[in-house]
Structure 1
């Protein structure tokens, strides 16, 4: 079988993590099977669908690295096909015109509820031909009246529904517009979709759609209904791809994390897109719901920040630095800062915040840190350290380390008594990377200017020891 799958978002909002997972699983299955990934935009909700939502969905898919092989196709450009198929079903007797008024339908519904029955259409127009002229009508599909419908789902296994649970649902409204459960069948059938992979919330729709396939003379595709994701909220998971990008999540991390929401490959946690394409299959997609864990998501993002080459990460970091107002370029200095600081942050925004002292001219000294570490006994050694660093021409972590060890031995000082005043002078606080790497990563002139200013600040606190 030639695998053809489709991702069919509605442009009524942004692409959130649930939508990303559906699109990704379709994309990975197509790539793993050497098939075709089709994008269809289901834009028949004319009131809520907006072109700008279509653009951000396409932008998100492109940025994440899962472009379609075909499409996008737009449902609003396919109405002629839908109307043609509705006429086919009316002509073949698989659909019928229903002239029941809203008042009649409501009365039937209230009666069913009063009698403890499931509200369903009475089918009063199913076998009639005495149509009143000029009266509004809808078109309904004729559901089978006896038996069951069974599907062998790639995720849920064998699922059976009694047809008595199914209604003769509307396939065309009174204004002639087709309904979702009809157009999706026509689209999937005419686009030769072999596998329909979507959320488990569509499982009930599947049993309504299968009789439509058969009435139109099409073989239903293979279905795979993914369990829903628990824990999504306005602040977790339901934000758009663009919002996560603005927060500083890498595209590799988003794809990696979302791929693990319901699928696994042994104990492996970190995957490249190439590995996902190689390993993905429905034999390891679970039936139970998965939970969106923001902390785990941040961990995956931090891992990817460590895995990218410093040069690549610096290029990705640049827009966030520009947004923060820093006038920087991707050069050796920024690459060095990136390599030094990336282990200390889990998003690009957090990296910007953690590294602010490399890009700001002003240093604000933390009072608690100063009180704890700027003691009289350490000043002579720190002053000598700065003098000897000023005389140092080879500005590397190794040469800087040698100066520190020389001064510590000479003044019999522990590492903290020289390292912490250094950090305070350079960054304003004591939370920073290795002091040798820190000093070396600063431009030499900037580092020395701050260290000398730090000596003056140290003296102002303890006197000229």
Structure 2
């Protein structure tokens, strides 16, 4: 059997973290087994589906690098197929027309509520042996309902939650085609999974209640039933259900916030799955390891600090040229003229260990491209007469010294010894004069990167 998985988002909003994790697990399971990963856009909700949301989903998948083998397939382009299957079911008696009006259904629900029963369709138009149905009323466009089995149970071995059994007596005859002829979500999903040969359905546990209905329709169609794995929800940092108020609504807000895709993938992989104590791994390694046995059945909690820690790791590991290409547009939007300072790749190499995001990296790099504007109070505090004297000698040495970090470091040490001063007494005012900041990487690295002319220019007039 060739493993075939699918990711089937509805384009009624952006690709969120839960959806991205579902896509990642579905992709990884297919890759683990040498199978196929299918992308399907379930766009039958015409009122809420938008082209912008479709594009946001495609952009999110592209940013994450979750390449699909087939698709994207769009349900709205498969209407003829759905109608064909509905016609087949009506002929075979596994579906039937229901002429109940909305008013009749409302009255039915109110009677059931008054009797303390769960509201459900009572089977008014369901064909039964020996049952006589009234003539179809004029002027009422019927819906089509699935003739759900009246007896027995639906049981499946959920690969995350274990064995689940639902009694058919709890399931009414759901609508599979509306009065205007358009098919409903649960029906389209079944036909798509059947036609596309889906063997494993990985999705959020908000779909658990749909599963017994979909299994019964598949069995009525004599179609193979895939295996199901329902993932628990993701909670926010505060332990509440992840929502808009927790920050990013769309996965695409994360690249805008300065996160690398490999960091997000690594983080999402561990958000409900584990491989011992392994925290950092490539997607190649993840695909080799991924299985259902190590999926957690409890909700995962999003942790921004953990994501930042991973992003810091991947920034430190990333190629400087790649990081420079990502940071450059941000600096240019700030009006920074990069030709006025050192090579951006060299700045990135010096600063990337100190940041958690690319946005922080862009801001940290600014000091190499803007004139310093030190706080007068800090300058007054640190630029003492002793420091001023030492820095004049430092500037004199800068004019002739070999421009290498090691030589600059040795010169600073000799200067400190000669003036009987400690490193902060000279390095702090030097940082302020060069960058306007008290905290920078090693002062010899900063001086070396600025270059001889810039350093002399900023020490002029001591």
Equivalent residue for 1:426, pick from 422, 431, 434: 434
- Tell me which moved more, 320-329 or 54-63: 320-329
What is aligned with 2:301? Answer: 291
Aligned-pair distance for 1:237? 5.9
What is aligned with 2:332? Answer: 322
What is aligned with 2:40? Answer: 40
CA contact (8 A) 1:424 1:430 kept: yes
CA contact (8 A) 2:99 2:141 kept: yes
Cα offsets for 1:210-240 (capped at 9, x unmatched): 1110111102100010111011232546421
Cα distance change of structure 1 residues 332 and 368 upon mapping to structure 2, 3 Å threshold = closer
1:196 equivalenced with 2:196 (yes/no): no
Aligned-pair distance for 1:368? 4.2
State the secondary structure of the residue aligned to 2:203.
strand
Residues 434-453 of structure 1: matches in 2 within 5 Å?
434-452=442-460
CA contact (8 A) 1:16 1:237 kept: no
What is aligned with 1:346? Answer: 356
Aligned-pair distance for 1:391? 2.1
What is aligned with 1:96? Answer: 96
Aligned-pair distance for 1:332? 7.6
Distance in 2 (CA, whole Å) between partners of 1:268 and 1:380 is 54
Aligned-pair distance for 1:441? 1.3
1:404 equivalenced with 2:430 (yes/no): no
CA contact (8 A) 1:236 1:292 kept: no
Cα distance change of structure 1 residues 332 and 279 upon mapping to structure 2, 3 Å threshold = farther
What is aligned with 2:223? Answer: 218
Number of aligned residues: 451
Distance in 1 (CA, whole Å) between partners of 2:377 and 2:289 is 52
Distance in 1 (CA, whole Å) between partners of 2:301 and 2:91 is 48
Equivalent residue for 1:382, pick from 391, 398, 405: 391
Cα distance change of structure 1 residues 160 and 238 upon mapping to structure 2, 3 Å threshold = farther
What is aligned with 2:239? Answer: none
Residues 31-430 of structure 1: matches in 2 within 5 Å?
31-127=31-127, 129=133, 130-231=135-236, 232-236=242-246, 238-328=248-338, 333-360=343-370, 362-392=371-401, 394-430=402-438
Cα distance change of structure 1 residues 54 and 295 upon mapping to structure 2, 3 Å threshold = same
Aligned-pair distance for 1:450? 1.6
Indicate the RMSD between aligned Cα atoms, in angstroms. 1.6
Distance in 2 (CA, whole Å) between partners of 1:235 and 1:444 is 49
Cα distance change of structure 1 residues 379 and 327 upon mapping to structure 2, 3 Å threshold = closer
Distance in 1 (CA, whole Å) between partners of 2:26 and 2:104 is 43
Distance in 1 (CA, whole Å) between partners of 2:291 and 2:331 is 39
Q: TM-score, normalised by structure 1?
A: 0.94
Distance in 2 (CA, whole Å) between partners of 1:274 and 1:323 is 35
Displacement over 4 Å in runs of 4+: none
Cα offsets for 1:28-70 (capped at 9, x unmatched): 1111110100000111111221222222211221121111100
